[in-house]
Amino acid sequence: MADIANYLFIQVHDDGAGKRLDKFLASKDLGLSRSQIQNLIQSGHIKVRGHAGTSPSLRIQAGDGIDIHIPALKPLSVEPVPILLDIIYEDRNLLVLEKPAGLVVHPGAGDEDYTLVHGLLYHCQDLSGIGGYLRPGIVHRLDKDTSGLMVVAKNDEAHRQLTEQFKAGKIDKTYLALVYGRPKDMSGRMNLAIGRHPVDRKKMSTRSRRGRSAITEWRVVEELRGASLLSLKIYTGRTHQIRVHMSSLGHPVLGDSLYRGPSKFRLGNTVIPIPRQMLHSACLQFAHPITGEKMKWESSLPEDMISVLEGLRGLNA
């Protein structure tokens, strides 16, 4: 990855007149996603007619000159750590892995020294730069206590293409979850916007004043005594989406204390401890970002979820 900034100049001709600035630049094959272009515009790195700080929705005119400054990537202050990663597929462009429950994806408060990013830096030497930093190409995330399949981009083009697939809803993501109670229907679809909780900033909520569209489909796989095993597909990638939607439906994910999911399941004298939120990324499908080949991976339930599931099945006996 080059450590120098890039400068580009684009002249607008008649075929670009009247178009939005961000859409026009996204069509120019600059190796940048539309969201990256929007960030550059809003941070003053793109000038139209010599003026910075314009809006992504600015309508450009024939004859306009556009100056683009792509700043040099900054090193991320994260040291590689030899973490054992369960990689199930890898090529020069991407890798697919099974993230265990308990492993945080990105460094943050309280999780600064041992994350998936640390392990990826140790495993791969040729990772894409995202968000202005030299760091592993995390295309999507799983919560700390969610297990299962993730895809990681290993170069900028793979990252850009996968990001576009996610935004266009072309990547199929299926989860398995153990939830409290039994839904009244065997399947359903939720389309409730999700945003930051108005009071508790650690939580997301369907009652946020600034929520973004979130779509989740669910299907009952197995009815249990006081609980259910669900298969869920998400068509948007909002923070805590499945957890928030299922809680709002009255069926929180077992073990998800943040959204009222019980940490133990009690029936008579039987108590089944729930070690973490019972949510697993079980299937991932997408087109290879470079070759276009259709690819699919499936993941079995991990041991801790199997243990809880078997315990719940025992209550039915």
Q: Is 143 designated active site?
A: yes
Cβ-contact 38, 22 below 8 angstroms: yes
Give the integer Cα–Cα distance in Å for 276 and 305: 9
The residue type at 306: I
Sign of CA dihedral 247, 241, 195, 102: positive
Element counts in the chain: helices (H) and strands (E): 6, 20
| Helix, coil or strand: residue 136 | coil
Q: How far is CA 231 from CA 175, 295, 304, in A?
A: 6, 20, 17
Cβ burial, residue 142 (10 Å; 0-12/13-18/19+): buried
Say which amino acid occupies 154.
K
Distance between CA atoms of residues 49 and 47, nearest Å:
6
Rounded Cα distance, 307 and 317, in Å: 16
Whether residue 59 contacts residue 18, with contact meaning beta carbons closer than 8 Å, is answered with yes
76 touches 135 (CB < 8 A)? yes
The residue from 22, 64, 143, 304 that is catalytic is 143
Cα 259 to Cα 244, 250, 263, distances in angstroms: 7, 10, 11
**Which residues carry out catalysis?**
143
